[in-house]
Amino acid sequence: MKRLRILVLVMVMMFSAGSVYAEEAKKAEEAKVTGSAAVGVFNKYVFRGYELSSHSFVTQPSVSVSYKGFSASLWSNIDSNVHGTQSVSNANYLANTGKNLNETDFTLSYTYAIDKLSLTGGYIYYGTDYTAETEEVFVTAAYDMLLKPTLSVYRDINEYGGTYFNLSIAHSFPVYKEITLDLGASAGYFAGSDDYWKTYDSATGTYTGEKYSGLHDGMVKAGLTIPVAKNMSLQPLIQYWFPLSSNAKKSVSGNSYNPNGKLDETLVTGVNLTLSF
pLDDT of residue 95: 85
pLDDT band at 96 (very low <50, low <70, confident <90, very high): confident
* Domain edges within the chain: 1-32, 33-276
pLDDT of residue 138: 98
Lowest mean pLDDT among 35-39, 95-99, 206-210: 95-99
Q: Is the pLDDT of residue 262 over 60?
A: yes
> Given this model, what pLDDT does residue 61 score?
98
β pairing state of 179-192 and 117-128: unpaired
Taking residues 47-72, report their average pLDDT.
Answer: 97
DSSP assignment, residue 57? -
**Mean pLDDT score, 41-67:** 97
What mean pLDDT do residues 102-131 have? 97
Instruction: Look at residue 31 in the predicted model and tell me its pLDDT.
Output: 76
Cα 3 from Cα 26, distance rounded (Å): 34
Percentage of residues of the chain with pLDDT beyond 90: 85
250 pLDDT band (50/70/90 cuts)? very high
pLDDT digits (tens, 9 = 90+) for 143-152: 999 999 999 9
Q: What is the average pLDDT value for the chain, to the nearest integer?
A: 91
215 touches 204 (CB < 8 A): no
29 pLDDT tier (thresholds 50, 70, 90): low
Predicted local distance difference test score (pLDDT) of residue 91: 86
Give the 3-state DSSP-derived string for 199-261, with helices as H, strands as E and coil as C. EEECCCCEEEEEECEEEEEEEEEEEEEEEEECCEEEEEEEEEEEECCHHHHCEECCEECCCCC
- 45 and 68 Cβ atoms separated by less than 8 Å: no
DSSP 104: E
Return the pLDDT at 88.
94
Q: Quick count: other Cβ atoms within 10 Å of Cβ 251?
A: 12
> In percent, how much of the chain has pLDDT > 70?
88
Longest dimension (CA), the chain: 99
The count of other CB atoms within 10 Å of the CB of residue 190 is 25
Q: What is the CATH number of domain 33-276?
A: 2.40.160.40
Say if pTM beats, i.e. exceeds, 0.85. yes
What is the rounded distance in angstroms from the CA atom of residue 60 to the CA atom of residue 39? 6
- Cβ neighbors of 251 (< 8 A, separation 6 or more) are 257, 262
* Spatial CA neighbour of 136 closest among 148, 147, 151, 126: 126
Residue 15 has pLDDT above 60, yes or no: no
Rounded distance between C-alpha atoms, residue 122 and residue 124, angstroms: 7
What whole-number distance in Å separates Cα of residue 168 and Cα of residue 162? 20
Q: Considering only 92-106, 193-207, 226-240, which range has the smallest mean pLDDT?
A: 92-106
Q: What's the mean pLDDT in 3-26?
A: 42
| pLDDT mean over 78-103 | 89
